[in-house]
Amino acid sequence: MSKLRILSAGAAQAVVEPVMAAFKQEGHDFKAEFGAVGAMKARLLEGATADLIILSGAMIDELIGAGYVVAGSRADLGRVGTGVAVRAGSPLPDVRTVNVLRGNLLAATKIVCPDPATATAGKIVMSALERMGIADQSRPKLQFFPNGYAAMRWLATSGGALELGITQNTEIKANKGVTLVGPLPDELQMKTTYSAGLAVRADDAEGARSFIARLTGSANRAALKAAGYEFED
């Protein structure tokens, strides 16, 4: 049996992998890549083969328009907010208001996040710093990573004091070595809808459609919610 090929945003990794595990028990095999949405889009445009693609909803729509994703195949996983993390066991700073978050970011020795050149969360971080008026002061302490998973892995094993991480809530909650302190305040929050779509050049369109249906279906909603996805009621 051929491998079902997946290109996915890192923000969806924690919910995609359990569905992959269930499909493997049914005899399917996979080749999956996870990373920043911009990097995954670039992989596709450079010629990477895929059966299904999981990125931000806006990017899936772009790929439908460009002829890379089948029109009408988009299915939403849910919305994801951006949050603040610390290494597990560290004191939890207050991030509930813009003013206290601003003070804690200024006091931080390091702020880790995904690279804004390719990652949704990285762009949100830079926008938040600009809106708080501390982008210039924060720049020397910023450390970028290819995706939120990599940033959280680094934070989990770092021994430094007053280090903060900012990325999508799903990427924080998936790493037991860090603690989700809380979401960014509403004034700075930019929630992202993540969606799956069937690749135009899919070799296993039937398998991809089945995977998307199970990933985004009502039976998987509790798992999506536990991972940090939100839904319109």
Q: What is the pLDDT along the chain (233 residues), one digit of tens a residue?
A: 568 999 999 999 999 999 999 999 988 899 999 999 999 999 999 999 999 999 999 999 999 999 999 999 999 999 999 999 999 999 999 999 999 999 999 999 999 999 999 998 999 999 999 999 999 999 999 999 999 999 999 999 998 999 999 999 999 999 999 999 999 999 999 999 999 999 999 999 999 999 999 999 999 999 999 999 999 76
The ranges of the chain annotated as CATH 3.40.190.10 are 3-79+192-227, 82-183
Amino acid at site 93? P
Taking only Cα atoms into account, the Rg of the chain, rounded to an integer number of angstroms, comes to 18
Predicted local distance difference test score (pLDDT) of residue 55: 97
- Nearest by Cα to 148 from 214, 216, 82, 73: 82
**CATH topology (fold) of 82-183:** D-Maltodextrin-Binding Protein; domain 2 (3.40.190)
- Nearest by Cα to 211 from 70, 28, 57: 28
How far out from the chain centre does Cα 6 lie?
15
Secondary structure percentages of the chain, helix, strand, coil, to 5: 45, 25, 30
Q: Which CATH number fits domain 3-79+192-227: 3.40.50.620, 3.40.190.10, 1.10.3720.10, 3.40.50.920?
A: 3.40.190.10
How far out from the chain centre does Cα 13 lie?
8
Place of tokens 């729509």: 61
Cα gap 192→63, rounded to integer Å: 17
Amino acid at site 211? F
Per DSSP, the three-state class of 185 is coil
Q: What is the pTM of this model?
A: 0.88
Using CB atoms within 10 Å of the CB of residue 174, give its burial: 0 to 12 exposed, 13 to 18 middle, 19+ buried.
Answer: buried
Predicted local distance difference test score (pLDDT) of residue 2: 66
